[in-house]
């Protein structure tokens, strides 16, 4: 047993290694495949209807079908919708696996109590949003030429609705899986919190490898995601729960989509309020480290003992 009650939640239920492997495969491989099949069938039907309604030859060529299918993918908001569908199914299958395969209470992956602390979620979201806004404003003042106002009143409302539907679910699922399920699971093998944080942050970073539009951009995203993972892991263990990091993750994703998007991101082209032009993807890493440090200092200002548990 550890001295961190949240990690000790791992001892609840059944914890054979194959249960972790099966749950991970079902949640991150099987679920996306099933979602992809349904999406593919929908797009095929959509493309046939689209082609039949247009002025096309009696014999529909395969190139025409492929072109019609790929047409929706040019819209980044459609990609957000697809992301929501995939994560919704992954979340559902993960929940079933937790109850059926692991025989665990789902709340045990979130905290040591019996219900979710919603105020912590709001606290994490509010603090991180304020920090991001501050650093973004400073950069806009210092480098005004690197920003373009891309706000579109005709489409921003749709983006706003999609963001509130998709990103809270997507970010919450990732935190429950990485900072809850996976961190507790690895904690059965190692009692060193820093090892758990490093391991889960590395895995968390790798799954974001294809978020960029090129290898350099993707490398920058992986490194920044690893830094975020370290911050989130420290907070989760220090607070004995993941509500705050759920709020941070939700605010981070919604800030990028709604307020401060980038032309190099995997979701470039969104009608965000501001779009950052292409730049050195590694130049922002020191700022991210400073921002993460500020958040940790604020959260643990009068709780140094809790923060010390992370590095013991």
197-244 confidence digits (pLDDT tens) = 999 999 999 988 776 666 777 788 889 999 999 999 999 999 999 999
Beta pairing partners, 262: 276
pLDDT average, residue stretch 63-83: 65
Q: How far apart are CA 240 and CA 112, in angstroms?
A: 7
Q: Which ranges in the chain belong to alpha helices (H)? A: 5-8, 17-25, 31-53, 62-70, 76-100, 118-142, 153-175, 183-187, 193-206, 215-239, 243-258, 285-299, 304-308
Burial (CB < 10 A; 0-12, 13-18, 19+), residue 280, is exposed
The pTM of this model reads 0.89
Q: For residue 309, which of 205, 200, 245, 233 has the smallest C-alpha distance?
A: 233
Q: Angle at Cα 10 formed by Cα 170 and Cα 26, nearest 5°?
A: 45
DSSP 8-state assignment for residue 152: -
Of the given ranges (23-32, 199-208, 252-261, 299-308), which has the lowest mean pLDDT? 299-308
| DSSP one-letter code for 281 | T
Angle of CA points 248, 251, 256, to nearest 5°: 125
Q: How many CA atoms lie within 13 A of 141 on its CB side?
A: 6
Give me the torsion for CA of 232, 238, 241, 243, rounded to 10°. -50
Q: What per-residue confidence (pLDDT) applies to 71?
A: 54
Residues 204-217 have pLDDT tens digits of 999 887 766 667 77
- Percent above pLDDT 90 for the chain: 54
Q: For residue 287, what are the CA distances in angstroms to 31, 126, 227, 280?
A: 36, 19, 11, 13
| Neighbour count for residue 64 (Cβ, 10 Å) | 17
**Residue 275: in which H helix or E strand, if any?**
strand 274-276
Task: For 148, list phi and psi in degrees, rounded to 5.
Answer: -130, 135
pLDDT by residue (tens digit) across 2-26?
A: 578 999 999 999 999 999 999 999 9
Q: Per-residue pLDDT for 56 more than 70?
A: no
In whole angstroms, give the CA distance from residue 170 to residue 102: 22
* Mean pLDDT of the residues in the chain: 86
182: tokens are: 């996976």
**Could you give the maximum distance between any two Cα atoms of the chain, in Å?**
74
Query: Is 90 exceeded by the pLDDT of residue 155?
Result: no
Alpha-carbon distances of 183 from 195, 227, 243, rounded to whole Å: 10, 16, 15
């Amino acid at each position: 047993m550890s001295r961190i009650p949240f990690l000790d939640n791992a001892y609840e239920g059944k914890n054979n290694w194959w249960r972790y492997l099966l749950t991970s495969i079902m949640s991150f491989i099987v679920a996306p495949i099933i979602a992809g099949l349904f999406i593919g069938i929908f797009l095929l039907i959509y493309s046939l209807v689209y082609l039949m309604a247009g002025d096309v030859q009696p014999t529909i060529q395969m190139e025409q079908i492929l072109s019609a299918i790929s047409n929706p993918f040019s819209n980044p908001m459609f990609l957000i919708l697809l992301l929501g569908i995939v994560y919704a199914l992954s979340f559902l299958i993960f929940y079933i696996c937790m109850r059926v395969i692991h025989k665990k209470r789902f709340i045990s992956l979130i905290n040591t109590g019996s219900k979710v602390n919603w105020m912590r979620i709001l606290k994490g979201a509010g603090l991180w949003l304020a920090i991001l806004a501050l650093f973004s404003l400073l950069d806009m003042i210092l480098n005004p030429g690197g920003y373009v106002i891309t706000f579109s009143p005709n489409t921003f409302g749709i983006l706003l609705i999609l963001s509130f539907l998709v990103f809270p679910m997507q970010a919450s699922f990732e935190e429950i899986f990485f900072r809850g399920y996976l961190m507790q699971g690895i904690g059965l093998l190692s009692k060193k919190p820093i090892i758990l944080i490093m391991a889960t942050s590395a895995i968390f970073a790798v799954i974001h490898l294809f978020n960029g539009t090129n290898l350099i951009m993707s490398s920058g995203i992986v490194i920044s995601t690893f830094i975020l993972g370290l911050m989130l892991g420290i907070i989760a263990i220090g607070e004995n729960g993941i509500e705050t990091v759920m709020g941070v993750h939700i605010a981070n994703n919604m800030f990028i989509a709604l307020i401060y998007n980038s032309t190099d991101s995997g979701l470039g082209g969104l009608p965000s309020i501001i779009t950052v032009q292409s730049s050195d993807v590694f130049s922002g890493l020191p700022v991210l480290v400073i921002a993460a440090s500020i958040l940790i200092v604020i959260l643990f200002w009068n709780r140094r003992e809790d923060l010390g548990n992370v590095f013991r």
